[in-house]
Amino acid sequence: MIWINNVAGYGLKNIDIKGIVIICGNYGSGKTETAVNLAIKRKRDGIDVKIADLDLVNPYFRTREARVLLESLGVSVILPDRQYMHADLPILAPAVAGMIQQPSELTILDAGGDDVGVTVLAALENHLSKKKVHMLQVVNPYRPFTEEVKGCIRIKEEIEATSKMKITGLVGNANLIDETLPEHIYKGYDLLKELSLETGLKIEFITACSNIISQLELDRFSCPVLEIERKMNPPWKRLRNKGV
């Protein structure tokens, strides 16, 4: 399936998202993995990409872990100062406001989980309110509290109330990491369609890990599929994936 690697995005449509994109969603829904892979994909498409880690909630597995890779690909990464990298403190790099004022062709803000994780957006309200912003909710129905549409809507409303912003689109990230099967992705897509119908929100794209994407019947999806090459790995998997 060599040809598939030459296609810039899978499914019937390509991901052509531009502008300021905020990635939010419930805790552990896969925001960072989605944000990092979206950044890489769009950079490979040839557009300028900046990404900021706004995750002030989660102490492990943050965008900062993919910093070296992202920078080597030419993606600008905005993180707190190195000396505070492992501080258990809510530090918002001043450069984030700057990147919103002068955005790249694609500017990704990787927010933290749940309503707590987007509190930071309210602090950036002055800067964000003047811009057109895509605010994407990432949903993994195999995570607690978002197994059903009802739970997804509750998270959506909590995020909107705290961030003082409206969610504008959905991202399906159905997975069980290494144990993901095509049926999990199909089931996740079905739930996302229901959620889309209920909320009127567009499905921007869904994701699928590179090891499973060739097994998917892509014509089942009316949205693009973002290929995920996992970057947030525990150390015993890092070496095995060093080619990624």
Q: Point out which residues bind another protein (CB under 8 A).
A: 27-28, 58-61, 86, 88, 140, 142-145, 147, 175-179, 234-240
Neighbouring C-beta atoms of residue 64, cutoff 10 Å: 18
CB of 218 to another protein, least distance (A): 23
Measured from the CB atom, the residue of 41 and 143 that comes closer to another protein is 143
Measured from the CB atom, the residue of 27 and 189 that comes closer to another protein is 27
Tokens 């309503």 belong to 115
Identify whether the C-beta of residue 41 lies closer than 8 Å to the C-beta of residue 17.
Answer: no
CB of 18 to another protein, least distance (A): 30
First-last CA distance in the chain: 18
CB of 65 to another protein, least distance (A): 12
Measured from the CB atom, the residue of 34 and 140 that comes closer to another protein is 140
CB of 96 to another protein, least distance (A): 22
Distance (Å, whole) CA 189 – CA 207: 10
Report DSSP state, residue 41.
H
Using alpha carbons only, give the angle 222, 151, 63 rounded to the nearest 5 degrees: 70
Measured from the CB atom, the residue of 42 and 230 that comes closer to another protein is 230
CB of 202 to another protein, least distance (A): 25
CB of 170 to another protein, least distance (A): 18
Structural tokens at position 217: 């019947």
Identify whether the C-beta of residue 19 lies closer than 8 Å to the C-beta of residue 99.
Answer: no
Measured from the CB atom, the residue of 14 and 58 that comes closer to another protein is 58
Structural tokens at position 241: 């994936």
Measured from the CB atom, the residue of 163 and 180 that comes closer to another protein is 180
Within 78-129, residue ranges assigned H as helices are: 95-101, 114-117, 119-123, 125-128
Identify whether the C-beta of residue 155 lies closer than 8 Å to the C-beta of residue 28.
Answer: no
Tokens 């525990």 belong to 234
